Chains A and B, each alone.
Chain A
Amino acid sequence: MDTCRCAGISRGAPIYRGIGKLLLIVAAVLVWSCLAAAPAQAQATVPPDTACKLCHVDNEGEITLPSGETIQLGIDLAPLSESVHGAHAAESVYCMDCHASRDRYRYPHQPNPAVDRAEFEADIAQNCESCHTTIEAHNPGHLMAKDNPNLPGCTDCHGGHDVAPVASMAADPVGTCQGCHQTYADPVVQETHEQIVANFSAEQTCQTCHSDVALTEDALCKTCHNLLDGEAVLPSGETLPLHVDPQMIIDSVHGDREIQGVPYSPLQCTDCHREIQEQGFPHDPVTAASLREWKLEKADLCGACHTDIAEKQPHDVHFTKIAEGNLDAATCTDCHGYHAVQPPNEPRQRISETCGACHSAINEQYAHSVHGAALLGEDNPDVPVCIDCHGVHDIEDPLTTQFRLNSPKLCAECHADEELMAHYGISTDVFDTYVADFHGTTVMLFEQQSPDQPVNTAVCYDCHGVHNILPATEENSQIMKENLLATCQQCHPDATANFSDAWTSHYRPSMEHNPLVYLVDLFYMIVIPVTLGGFALFIGTDVYRQVRERRGRKERGRE
């Protein structure tokens, strides 16, 4: 509250009645004297402030304070009578109850020591507390900051002689406050209050924030930003909306929550918006040049709590790209949201939606693939979503040689799992038969021995597709019999019709599949043991003869 336009308290115009003025003064002096001498005896019949009223009702005099301000001595009794302290009050309030200092208000009155009108009023307002004993904590910023000379006293809001019932203030609470608080020196504070007041709901008043019981810092943030509907304009010309729905945060994973049975206290706004804690209100202007920069700046803070994830980040392709200057790459909040953070994998489809927000072309392919269709259409828990192949917070660049060389093992994690594949009737030989083939042998050896060296032999996705994988039975499948040659020709441009049959289609050789290979294997399975068996047999007999002959020679030698 920078300035306080303390409105003067209205006073009844002095009523001037000349007749019997002197008489009244004499009578008043007498009554005052009597009361001062024996108040108890007079109370029952004559109100103790009769003399005050008699004297001040038609007084035309005025006191000039050192400040130059004047105080009229005449009082209009009607508003006083109609006020909450007046005729209808449950308990009578007399002049001396408020003008209580006996020294000053005993007749003849001593000169008032107040230098100005504010001090004069403050002096009287002190006495409100003698009856209103619970007002100590009333309206923080007013009575609680007594040292501020610019603060209003009780009378500034409630009135003096015409003290109004609180109900009348409640009828226009904002107006009551605005009696003083209309403009602010700081344009930000000015605009903020204008927006807030304009958006007050029926129940909301200035006291929603400036209540008798001081609000917590967090409640202030939430109350204020819930009422704001403006936007901060960034240097880029983009706007940052100031409205925040606190319910979003309360309902988020950072709100009231329980993790593994342990209740956690909700995050405070300043846990993430740390700079605000130092800045207070009004906040410093946003330094980020653009909305994107602002988001990246904010997301840096997530790691302060999520340290396990922050440790993985430097290896993540998104963060590497950001570090290289590509600000389009995703940061924490792009995937998780910020105020309305929800579990990212519930339901599982949410994951592909999240990635698809930026990678929509790929997500579109995935959605039509055998994996994506099962996820989106059947809620299948077995099919991979993006993160099953790409990882989560340490996402590897999938265009590297390492990723390519490791990809068959990645596919094999599911496709060589017998229990998993049994549900779908898919052969688990796919990995072994791939490795047994020229392509797979080469890739596996490269993977083991020189993972950085690019290799041109095919990995699973070169034939099956990357995100658009379809079963071989599907008409558009790259590996469908009719389309297979075209797939081979991607790498073997000169290949002709028979060439694609050189691939054994993941079948182990049998009379049914690849019979020629099966027969060659069978031939050598017979020829090798028979040949070597024959050799061994002959060598065995030859050794036997030599041993026999040597023994014979020895025996002859002995003879």
Chain B
Amino acid sequence: MSEHAREYFRFNISHRIEHILLLLTFTVLTVTGIPQKYADAAWASGAIGLMGGIELTRQIHHVAAILLMLTTIYHGGAVTYRIFVKRVRLTMMPGLQDVKDGLQAMGYNMGLVKSPPRMGRYNFGEKVEYWAVIWGTAIMVITGFMLWNPIATTKFLPGQAIPAAKAAHGAEAVLAALSIITWHAYHVHLKWFNKSMFTGSLTHEQMEEEHALELEEIEAGVEEPPISPAVMRRRLMVFYPVAIVISVTLLAAVYWFVTLEETAITTIPRQDTPVFVPVTPTPEGG
């Protein structure tokens, strides 16, 4: 049983920082965003009031959006490093096997299939969640850009793209929030509390159920071959300049995103019809 008390290292500091940044920005965006979608409901306007009014709520939403974009850039850099420098296996790539695993897991749950699927480092449930975040973030960043810069957008797209973007931004937010509340909450909080995203490691029991294949490999001592320092140095020589150029470009893009246009003037001009224009100097008679 001592074997079963062992903790299996799963997420390094970078992974955990990315998750915390995503957790924070996603939560703030949801809390400030969902009430805006349902602003005519009493609970929503109450929530907006609690957050200091619609202007402040929008500003918080915008700041969180900038942080999410920065988080996304950081994630992109980290993934690039893992793929091109560390040359890790593309364990997050979805494949036909994931569909089979999903169906098998469901069959097993219902007692139709004898054994559960044996899954690798990222199982189908985690892949669904990861790619949903990627898809969702892409949708939110694109539609968010359109809403933030409607004048720039309509120089290239039809005007209707703006209300369409608004509809997509809101609906996608609902989809994302509900997915987190159901899929994510069930798998890592309700079913059992999977602390690996904070502690970095997972118990044997959880490994066995969710990552049996990976566990088998670890137990069998299959490890990534170590990279020689010379090779590492050569790879980094390429990675750093490229990463810096892309990062700076993307940061510039975020800056451009935020400051591209002055959508509306801040003070509405007053109607300028003269108010007091008497027909006669003093109304006479009677």
Chain A residues engaging chain B, CB cutoff 8 angstroms: 248, 252, 291-292, 295, 328, 334, 337-341, 356-362, 365, 399, 435-438, 441-442, 444-446, 448-450, 453-454, 456-458, 461-462, 466-467, 490-504, 509, 514-517, 519-521, 523-524, 527-528, 531-532, 535-539, 541-542, 544-546, 548
Contact = CB atoms under 8 A, between A and B. Distances in A.
Given A291-B282, A340-B285, A524-B172, A541 B110 contact: yes
7 contacts: A337-B286, A341-B286, A448-B49, A450-B53, A494-B261, A499-B150, A535-B182
A499 B172 CA distance: 24
B88 to A, nearest CB: 28
Contacts of B264: 456-457, 491-492
A280 to B, nearest CB: 26
Given A358-B279, A446-B53, 11 more contacts: A361-B273, A362-B273, A362-B277, A449-B53, A456-B266, A500-B159, A501-B160, A502-B161, A509-B167, A520-B164, A538-B102
A91 B282 CA distance: 66
B283 A357 contact: yes
Contacts of B157: 498
Contacts of B45: 444-445, 448-449
A410 to B, nearest CB: 15
A517 B167 contact: yes
Q: Which 7 A-B pairs have the closest CB atoms?
A: A501-B159, A340-B286, A524-B171, A541-B109, A502-B162, A337-B286, A498-B154
Contacts of B286: 248, 252, 337-341
A499 B39 contact: no
B151 A496 contact: yes
Range class of the B interface residue count = 35 or more
A492 B171 contact: no
B39 A445 contact: yes
Interface string B263-286: 111111111011111111011011
Given A449-B49, A449-B53, A493 B265 contact: yes
A524 B163 CA distance: 14
Contacts of A532: 175, 178-179, 182
B255 interface: no
B167 to A, nearest CB: 4
A502 B160 contact: yes
A545 B116 CA distance: 11
Contact of A520 (B36, B109, B159, B167): B167
B279 A356 contact: yes
Contacts of A466: 271, 273
A462 B174 contact: no
Contact of B262 (A291, A461, A494, A544): A494
Given A365-B273, A449-B48, A516-B161, A492 B179 contact: no
A328 B163 CA distance: 48
A503 B285 contact: no
Contacts of B224: none
A328 B276 contact: yes
Given A445-B39, A502-B163, A541-B109, A357 B279 contact: yes
Interface string B161-191: 1111011100110110011001100100001
A442 B54 contact: yes
Contacts of A548: 111
B175 A531 contact: yes
A458 B269 CA distance: 11
B106 interface: yes
Contact of B277 (A358, A438, A448, A497): A358
A532 B273 CA distance: 56
Given A441-B36, A521-B167, A494 B151 contact: yes
B109 A462 contact: no
B130 interface: no
B40 interface: yes
B282 to A, nearest CB: 6
A467 B159 contact: no
Nearest to B261: A494
Contacts of B261: 494
Contacts of B102: 538
B95 interface: no
Given A357-B280, A444-B40, A449-B54, A498 B159 contact: yes
Nearest to B192: A546
B108 A545 contact: yes
B271 A495 contact: no
Contacts of B270: 399
A517 B164 contact: yes
Nearest to B106: A541
A480 to B, nearest CB: 16
Interface string B122-160: 000000000000000000000000000011001101111
Contact of B163 (A493, A514, A535): A514
Nearest to A540: B109
Contact of A337 (B167, B267, B269, B285): B285
Nearest to A362: B273
Nearest to B178: A532
A502 B109 contact: no
Given A496-B151, A528-B174, A361 B159 contact: no
A407 to B, nearest CB: 12
Contacts of A497: 154
A294 to B, nearest CB: 11
Contacts of B171: 520-521, 523-524, 528
A467 B264 CA distance: 24
A453 B49 CA distance: 14
Contacts of A539: 182-183, 186
Given A445-B48, A449-B48, A491-B264, A499 B154 contact: yes
B267 to A, nearest CB: 6
Which among A362, A504, A520 has the highest number of chain B CB atoms within 10 Å?
A: A520
